[in-house]
Structure 1
């Protein structure tokens, strides 16, 4: 792993998003090793070489050498036959490059691996741009799962997060175009776009009967990846949103700032973090794992295992708790596994995403690219967390209202309305202390009065109807409550206080 290794998600921009990474992940997370090669030109060369030799042999009455050349790779005979038949006999002229690209795409699809795919020149360009620390899009890590595009996690401060998108939300369509059966790369191509432009996503949330259309304005996704704040009794909370080019340096700066403010204990929050660059995960894990201790292992198809150990001699000895959830993927899981198994750091929250494979990305000479799985990665104790996730020491879930579906601000909810959107609004009102009288999705006079009370408290027009700014303010108020009353952080504080004593 001496090449440029990255732990990459299918996300927009900084990770292959919408891709996550999205992706979160897209949201596809994993290690990637990048190098260039000339497979496409080699394939063209082989096709024309064998065709030329065959013609020469037939012309001069000797066909044995030609047959020998073609059959040296017997497994390609069927591929050549299919290519020649289509090229010669299809009822219309065919695009030769498109056929070859389709063959490569088909081979990767046949692997039945959501982390292996072919990228066109345009997609590959976006992919390489995603390795930088800034990008434009909606900021959501996505993944292809069972023929559907699913959000792994929205990035902090992104348009996706502000619009209310949640992990496990299924994207049914983009601007009216169905995503059924499409790869995460194809989904990214539809979702990404220039800052200031709108994209309409049809979102189906788990438990909902019908999808909801959400219009999101694309923006430049914040390049800042580390956020720190002092809580109570000398406890600092530092959130890492993804692992990009400067995350380790950002973290060191934030930790230094927290120490100047009297930090006695640290909560490291990697919830909804889809991953990112591997070298950053290594540097950050090394801050908290003693020198020489194993951070993770990589196992190839032959069963050969390579260990990667902490190289940092200046570890932070401050008491630490790491908070994870189902949106914590790939590089986040490497960090969680490393500190848990090699430094006895307690984990709080929910079981992580479960991404335990390694990918390599290789560029073709024409600018296209393919990404495929090459190895497994294991925790220090040799555990393979793929599709299993990492279980925290203290399991704490967020309240049910934290996963309520998005309410479309363009819809007008009023007396006599009946829908899943009304039900969500009623549950939000109740969570915020406004009694709607019922939670069955029927908008009656009691619900109207609850809405009016909320509007008055927020200095909005007291219409008793939910639409536009009232709907947005309701969802924002709920998000603020979730952050303020966060039971996972409260548990982390409780655990840290015992460690500090």
Structure 2
């Protein structure tokens, strides 16, 4: 798709740790946009100017000459130049602006047309640390227990502190079947180790079903090139079955292509109303206006703190322009747009730079704020339980985060541990014995690696059961009540 008024291709911008180094998704514009076409140079001087004063050029040149001639060790020229570029971009203090060397840029470009392999999680770099925005639904990361806002401290023993996001992701990515041992820091707990077996990342981005009461549900896992068509096809199939209300699920959807979300919103946003707006550094705004219509049935959108960027565009547009109800938790808050510059660098490397911000139809900027739900619903406590570290066998009178997470899981399984404060008491031991007996394990009331894994597998199955999804229940109930 061409960005209105500019020769820009809107391409995929969701971030998979599997494939390339970048920030959390969103709306990256990749294409032949020169700085002159933007009407500005990197330095803000007139188009075509060098951007540096004579003194600045001398300073840069002198620094390089000192490194080359005086530094204790011989240096790689390309590495030093790449480091200088990376340093300039880091000085902007923007996690979504990044430099990719030739190899990383090739991986980025290949990603746009390739099958994904890796762990399947979206990340950003915040305060020098790699932060998980959202694990992709159905991905190895989700199955292993990676959660939104997790901080990845190390990979297979290699610490990530001080690395650029590109460097960190190069350590995390890998081939199908290989292991990534991640040290994870989670709010309110000690660091834990989670082993993720890399695999093919699911490419099916749209899933639909008919719920009770002729309420249709469409889950969108990310916005890529085939998502809009799949969404339209499955929406029509539900409508042909007599759907009377619709629930759109964008929880843990990190976003993706602007073109895809705009096409998907056209049938819902009345003609002439804005779907999304963008604003440049001068404060000038441009609207993407709907040419579509409306639907005769009520709509709800499921959101949580893993819903980012294009997901927030969809939620905001449906709420403000179509009267949809948002159900769940506050969204992530990603409201900027990036442009990729590759031709300008001339050697295969790439700069992805934030150049605009996007706003909702009513002009709200959700960046670092997110979008609040109309109907706030939290999932059960055991949905937030962390995997146990499995470093030691848990037993009576022990105290700690592992015990607390064990108790949350036991409670979720209906086994009444007696408390969830992290102290392993007699009732917790009895609950463990009950689980062990039920699953054919030695019923000693202690949690070794085998029992811990069995409990985690059981709670994962519980979480994936739609019957326990309180947010989905609330959205479906609201839609059934809204049906005329």
2:88 is the alignment partner of 1:107: yes
Report the 3-state secondary structure (helix = DSSP H, G, I; strand = E; otherwise coil) of the residue aligned with 2:149.
coil
Report the 3-state secondary structure (helix = DSSP H, G, I; strand = E; otherwise coil) of the residue aligned with 2:31.
strand
Deviations 1:347-389 (A, max 9, x none): 1111111111111111233222111110111111111111111
Superposed counterparts of 1:8-407, under 5 Å:
8-13=13-18, 16=20, 26=23, 28-35=24-31, 74-132=55-113, 134-208=115-189, 210-312=190-292, 315-363=294-342, 364-407=345-388
Q: CA deviation at 1:486?
A: 1.8
Partners of 1:489 and 1:274 in 2: how far apart? Answer: 19
| Length, aligned pairs only | 461
Q: Unaligned 5+ residue runs, structure 2?
A: 36-49
Q: 243-252 vs 77-86, which deviates more?
A: 77-86
Query: Structure 1 residues 104, 452: closer, same or farther in 2, change over 3 A?
Result: same
Q: CA deviation at 1:410?
A: 6.5
For the 8 Å contact 1:133–1:244, the answer to whether it is kept is: no
Residue in 2 that maps onto 1:486: 469
Partners of 1:241 and 1:133 in 2: how far apart? Answer: 17
2:474 is the alignment partner of 1:495: no
Residue in 2 that maps onto 1:47: none
For the 8 Å contact 1:321–1:345, the answer to whether it is kept is: yes
Q: 465-474 vs 426-435, which deviates more?
A: 465-474
For the 8 Å contact 1:33–1:362, the answer to whether it is kept is: no
Deviations 1:12-67 (A, max 9, x none): 247x57x5xxxxxx4x222212236999xxxxxxxxxxxxxxxxxxxxxxxxxxxx
Deviations 1:223-257 (A, max 9, x none): 11111122211112211111112111111222233
Q: CA deviation at 1:487?
A: 1.9
Partners of 2:12 and 2:332 in 1: how far apart? Answer: 14
For the 8 Å contact 1:273–1:329, the answer to whether it is kept is: yes
Partners of 1:216 and 1:454 in 2: how far apart? Answer: 26
Q: CA deviation at 1:220?
A: 0.3
Q: 472-481 vs 418-427, which deviates more?
A: 472-481
Q: 100-109 vs 280-289, which deviates more?
A: 280-289
Partners of 2:150 and 2:322 in 1: how far apart? Answer: 34
For the 8 Å contact 2:12–2:224, the answer to whether it is kept is: no
The TM-score with structure 2 as length reference comes to 0.88
Residue in 1 that maps onto 2:406: 425
Deviations 1:63-98 (A, max 9, x none): xxxxxx998655433212222332333343322212
Q: How large is the RMSD of aligned CA atoms in angstroms?
A: 2.5
Q: Unaligned 5+ residue runs, structure 1?
A: 20-25, 40-68
2:393 is the alignment partner of 1:412: yes
Partners of 1:489 and 1:319 in 2: how far apart? Answer: 15
Query: Structure 1 residues 411, 5: closer, same or farther in 2, change over 3 A?
Result: farther
Larger radius of gyration: 1
